[in-house]
Amino acid sequence: MTYARPCGDFKTSYAQDMALLDTRLYRWGFALLLAGALVAPWVLGRWIFLLNDIAIFAIAATGLSLVMGFGGQVSLGHAAFMAVGAYTSWFATTELKLPFVVALPLSGLVAFVVGAVVGLPSLRIKGLYLAIATLAFQFLVEYVIVQTVSGMGGTPVPPLDLFGAPVNTEARFWYLALAVWLAGAVFATNLTRTRVGLALMAVRDRDYAAQVLGVDLLYYKALAFALGAAYAGVAGSLFAHYNRVIGAEHFSLAQSIDFLAMVVIGGLGSVWGPHLGAAFVRTLTQLSKIGAPLLAASIPMLGRATTSMRDIVFGLVLIGVLVWEPGGLATLFRKLKRYVDLWPFPH
């Protein structure tokens, strides 16, 4: 069995047809990926921070992909929902003295409710106007953070512990983040195949038609926002305890645009998209953070121009993806797979 996918459809049972990983290659590949993730702390050493970073942002991006890729609603305020989760977690663990295992779902829940409320206008306004409304929400949340809790600085967040065991190293945090990431990703993937996911896609493709088919628009649009926000809230909670300090600058408009970029670069409407996109964007961000001073040191002529290198590269990649491959990385992978499948024949 050398092919990525055998020619023809050999599925003989319903269970086979519905399996998430439906070929041997996928099953082995995924098992390998998981095994790699489990041993990553030993292999990567101190670079494990990159995986933690990716995990947190991939969880939030999964939420945005539910809103945008599957629900078809634009959100320019995803970082604001992450802020809601982060501050809920901070409040729960410091003021209410709740353990992290309670604070994490609580953050998701609070963000879920806020998301539903922000999603309500999506019934009355859509497209451009919805984008602008979420943009306004983003600015207002930043303003509230600066005015009430954090000011221009940051708010310290206590380190987290799970049932008394401190999660104080990058490696320990990685296992926690991996568990949440995996659970979130599997839930989202399955969700897109259920009634809810199908309804969301119907709304995305044509809302009138969906309504005629009996899809309750208000319910599903609000639900898309709420679910997306809940993911962002959980990611925010993880971020708060990982970064140990949260402030308005972590949840800025630029961060919201980053999320948008993750989902688009990864591939809209693909379950792998947000993960690929988050990995790409965060790796690029961290590499340019490390690379910019090195580049400036080796080529002094560039000087301070290197500080904005990330933004420029990032914008160009985003434009390039939208112009040449609107399906994003996920589609590129699919094309690659098709090519391997059919090799050496062109069709």
Partner 1 sequence: MTAAFVLEGVVVGLAVGSIYALIAVGFTVLYKSTKILNLAHGELVLFGGYLAVAVTSALTSLPLPLAFAAGVAVTLLAAAVLGFGVERAVMRPLFGQPLLSVIIVTLALGYVIRGIMVGIWSGETKTFPPVIPPTVVRVAGVPVSLVGVWSAAAAAVLLTSFSLFFRYSRWGIAMRAAANEQLTASTLGVSLKRVFAYAWAFAAAAGAVGGILLGLWLGVNFALAAVGLKALAAVILGGLDSVPGAILGGLLVGVVETVLGGYIDAHVRVFGHTLHGFKEVTAYLVILVVLMVRPYGLFGTEHIERL
Q: Closest CB to partner 1 among 3 and 129? A: 129
Q: Of 151 and 158, which has the nearer Cβ to partner 1?
A: 151
Residue of 149, 217, 295, 332 interacting with partner 1 (CB under 8 A): 217
Per CB under 8 A, 308 contacts partner 1: yes
* Contact map string, positions 119 to 158, toward partner 1, x by CB under 8 A: --x-xxxxxxx-xxx-xxx-xx--x--xx-----------
Give me 182's structure tokens.
């995996």
DSSP letter (8 states) at residue 166: E
What span, in angstroms and rounded, lies between the C-alpha atoms of 240 and 225?
22
Contact with partner 1 (CB under 8 A): which of 161, 207, 249, 325?
207
- The only residue of 294, 319, 336, 342 in contact with partner 1, by rule CB under 8 A: 319
Cα gap 276→266, rounded to integer Å: 5
**Distance between CA atoms of 224 and 168, rounded to whole angstroms?**
34
DSSP β-bridge partners for residue 165: 162
Task: Give yes or no for residue 259 binding partner 1 (CB under 8 A).
Answer: no
Are the C-beta atoms of residues 328 and 273 closer than 8 Å to each other? yes
Which of 162, 178, 198, 318 is close enough to bind partner 1 by CB under 8 A?
318
Instruction: Fill in the per-residue mask, 170 to 189: x = in contact with partner 1 (CB under 8 A), - = not in contact.
Output: --------------------
Q: Shortest gap between Cβ of 126 and partner 1 (angstroms)?
A: 7
Binding of residue 222 to partner 1 (CB under 8 A): no
Mask for 43-72, x = binds partner 1 (CB under 8 A) = -------------------------x----
Distance CA 332, CA 305 (A): 31
Neighbours of 132 (CB within 10 A): 13
Instruction: Say whether residue 201 binds partner 1 (CB under 8 A).
Output: no
Q: How many CB atoms lie within 10 A of CB 151?
A: 12
**Rule CB under 8 A: is residue 282 a binding residue for partner 1?**
no
CA-closest candidate to residue 261, choices 219, 333, 318, 328: 318
Site for partner 1 in 103-122 (CB under 8 A): 121
Tokens representing 305 are 């121009």
Nearest Cα neighbor of 69 from 223, 190, 192, 185 is: 192
DSSP string of 290-337, one letter each residue? HHHHHHHHH-TTTGGGGGGHHHHHHHHHHHHHHHH-TTHHHHHHHHHH
Q: Which stretch binds partner 1 (CB under 8 A): 81-89, 171-179, 225-233, 316-324?
A: 316-324
Contact between 251 and partner 1 per CB under 8 A: no
In sequence order, the 6+-apart residues with CB closer than 8 A to the CB of 238 are 55, 56, 59, 104, 176, 177, 180
Distance CA 210, CA 195 (A): 13
Considering only the stretches 7-15, 24-32, 167-175, 318-326, report the one whose residues sit in contact with partner 1 under the rule CB under 8 A: 318-326
Asked whether position 309 contacts partner 1 by CB under 8 A, the answer is yes
Closest contact distance (angstroms) between CB of 340 and partner 1 is 28
Q: Which is nearer to partner 1, 282 or 310 (CB)?
A: 310
Shorter beta-carbon distance to partner 1: residue 196 or 262: 262
State the minimum distance, in angstroms, from the CB of residue 216 to partner 1.
Answer: 12
* Distance linking the first and last C-alpha atoms of the chain: 20
CA distance 98 to 193: 35
Please report whether residue 212 would count as binding partner 1 according to CB under 8 A: no
Q: Which residues lie near partner 1 (CB under 8 A)? A: 68, 74, 121, 123-129, 131-133, 135-137, 139-140, 143, 146-147, 207, 217, 257, 260-261, 264, 268, 304-312, 314-316, 318-319, 322-323, 326
